[in-house]
Copies of this chain bind each other. A is one copy, B any other.
Amino acid sequence: MAHEKERLETSARLLRLLSLFQARRYWSGAELSERLEVTPRTLRRDVDRLRSLGYPVNSTTGTAGGYQLGAGATLPPLLLDDEEAVAVAVGLRTAASGTVAGIEEASLRTLSKLQQVLPARLRRRVSALQSFIVPLVHSGPMVDAEMLSVIASACRDCFKLRFGYRSKDGTDSAREVEPHRLVHTGWRWYLAAWDVDREDWRTFRVDRMLPKVSVSSRFTARTPPDGDFAAYVKRSVSFAPDPRRAVILLHASIDVAGPEVPAWAGTLKPVDDRTCVLHTEAHSLDSLSVYLALIGFDFEVREPPELIERVRLLAQRFGRASRRNIGSSGKK
């Protein structure tokens, strides 16, 4: 009846034990054995089992002794509750969308791993939240997170993709490819794939792929061109424009500016007592202008010309805005 033990006992118990260890750091043997409904002896055996699986459990004897899961050589399986799963999914989404440099690909891979097993109700919560995700620095033509996710899954599971592609000169064509790897360079996503019709490797800029991407039959993976996808993409797109390098003169001493300028912004060098210069790379004019709006002191843009132009534009726009305020609202 309801009392029916499924006799998955041991394995299930190990998982529960891991889960308990992740929910709280310290447990006494008594607490654990009570939770798991086994004898303390069996608990000790379970702990040993975890240890021989490679998950180190520290234990201390004496009064107020107990167990504690420590950091081992390998990460134990993570047992997350609903809220935590949502938090992870959302976190990965933001990280994948380029908020953090250098781990976009890993984030995307992990995200697609998570999506596969995420219960439907949680998926709804994630997508509800994701609309609030701040693509604050919407870097240029923003890539659809959904599309990235579809492509990443197709790469992993070896599914061919069909999509329309707008080439550099603006002409559209229909493609069928065997997707192998998504690569994020600079501020763009590229897909390294085997073009079925052209029978050769191609790289596709994801932001040039037209929705809808459709998933078709499976394929067997090929060996990457010259050993490495990342290298291949890098070579293929090497003619791409350099990331926007900007040079900004700050009217503040380096002692003053240093703490204000976050490390990610770029490198700061002193010029004289009252000025220093910031060399920075950014993905887009937008992100640079955001940065300028946050700078707490006077500045001067040296490079690039587009940014100078943008500053002029913003100056005018902000000027008009504040003049209008004085005029209409009148409120000092």
Contacts and interface: CB of A to CB of B under 8 A. Distances in A.
A256 interface: no
Nearest to A265: B134
A312 B331 CA distance: 13
B75 A119 contact: yes
A331 B301 CA distance: 11
A262 B135 contact: yes
B88 A157 contact: no
Interface string A310-332: 01101101111110110011010
Contacts of A94: 91, 94-95, 99-100
Interface residues of A, number: 107
A318 B311 contact: yes
A199 interface: no
A12 B53 contact: yes
Contact of A305 (B64, B106, B158, B331): B331
A99 B319 contact: no
A188 interface: no
A70 B117 contact: yes
Contacts of A93: 91
Interface in A108-122: 109-110, 113-114, 116-120, 122
Question: 6 closest A-B pairs (Cβ-Cβ)?
Answer: A91-B91, A77-B77, A315-B318, A91-B95, A293-B293, A87-B106
26 contacts: A8-B49, A23-B113, A23-B156, A26-B158, A69-B117, A70-B117, A76-B117, A77-B78, A78-B78, A80-B110, A84-B106, A90-B91, A90-B100, A94-B95, A100-B133, A132-B264, A133-B264, A135-B262, A292-B293, A293-B293, A299-B321, A300-B325, A301-B325, A315-B315, A315-B318, A318-B318
